[in-house]
Homo-oligomer: A and B are copies of this chain.
Amino acid sequence: MAAGPGQPLDRAGAGDRPTVLIASPLEEHHAARIAGAFAGRVDTVYRPDLLPPIRFPGDHGGSPGWRRSPEQQREWHAALRRAEVLWDFPLGESEPLLELAPRLRWVQTTSAGVGQYVQRLGLADSDLLVTTASGVHAQPLTEFVFAALLHHTKRVGHLQDEQRAHRWERFCARELDGQTMAIVGPGRIGRKVAQVARCFGMTVWAMARAHDPDRAAALGVDRLFARGDFHAMLAGADCVVLCAPHTPETDNLLDREAIAILKPGVVLVNIARGAVVDEDALVEALRAGRIGLAALDVFRAEPLPPTSPFWDLPNVLVCPHSASTADTENAKLTDRFVRNLGFYLDGRLDRMEPALDKARLY
């Protein structure tokens, strides 16, 4: 039986020292910090030879085509069988996770939006504790939002064209100051986006699942909209930032009707999940020139197929689901994991954060 929140963890059946397995690519110095933090109380298994190669700092995915040899796969499964704690969900397994890792009690993910994934793994009703990367990506995602927004508003593409032509012609750009941004999902990411938007002089609106107009100030936004006023919010926004978790409630939230209501020339930034948007309707609106810029970091199908119309639309900026990746990411995640590991070992499961709510899926 799993220990309840705040109860000392009963680890009797799990052996004297829990095994922590690093299950996605991680730089050696971060792994060394994890192994060293509670060296006498934990066995840390770090086998980069059994993990995909690191392609860039903060790479948690697997290189396409990378496979373990049969011998490596046997070693890997042996490590999973011992693991009580995982740094990240292991990718590419066909068997149920809790059969591969029967001792598993806690997974620290390197992603924030893992609710749907946990459900697909059939773990939504399990006792498994899942802590996420929620918040770690707020800064790089906020920077991506403003990179896209300023690129459009300050007409950097126009500057590049003029520069290629060696043409000096003075022009007038718009300002963020005075524009209205609508944030769909004012969680940790949305609140950071809101903070910077207000610093630029923007008016910030948001729509939250739990609607309470009085929460606007606490969230750092000028006005909070109820789900029923979603279209009214969209109609007044110069810029819409999607950063809600993907749940049954947000699935296809920006549907054809919502897209039709957007202001002409609007900037749309999707840093949530592709399934939050009706992509066919979006492509139509983009082709009709009704959208100023769609900066899309996420898509229904990833990698985005080479035949997708998004690639060639002049008012689209495609980002390969990398807006959240920053060279500081693993250092921040390692800090979080070490802190959570301390609480875990002390049986203070209630202090571990941020824990995935497996009912709400975020």
Residues of A within 8 A of B (CB): 55-59, 61, 139-140, 142-144, 146-148, 150-151, 153-154, 156, 159-160, 162-163, 166, 168-178, 195-196, 199-201, 302-304, 306, 308, 311, 316-323, 325-328
Contacts and interface: CB of A to CB of B under 8 A. Distances in A.
Contacts of A143: 150, 153-154, 173, 175-177, 200
Contacts of A156: 147-148, 151, 156, 317
8 A-B pairs closest in CB distance: A168-B303, A147-B150, A56-B172, A199-B199, A147-B154, A166-B306, A168-B320, A175-B326
Nearest to A61: B170
Given A151-B156, A168-B304, A170-B56, A162 B318 contact: yes
Interface centre among A151, A154, A308 (most CB of B within 10 A): A154
A263 to B, nearest CB: 16
Taken together, the copies of this chain in the complex come to 2
B139 A175 contact: yes
Contacts of A303: 168
B320 A172 contact: no
Contacts of A57: 172
Contact of A159 (B170, B201, B319): B319
Contacts of A59: 170, 172
B147 A55 contact: no
A140 B327 CA distance: 30
11 contacts: A55-B170, A56-B172, A139-B175, A143-B177, A146-B150, A147-B154, A169-B320, A174-B327, A175-B328, A196-B199, A199-B199
A200 B317 CA distance: 22
Nearest to A163: B318
A317 to B, nearest CB: 6
Nearest to A144: B154
Contacts of A322: 170-173
A146 B308 CA distance: 31
A307 to B, nearest CB: 8
Given A56-B170, A325-B172, A139 B177 contact: yes
Contacts of A323: 154
A109 to B, nearest CB: 17
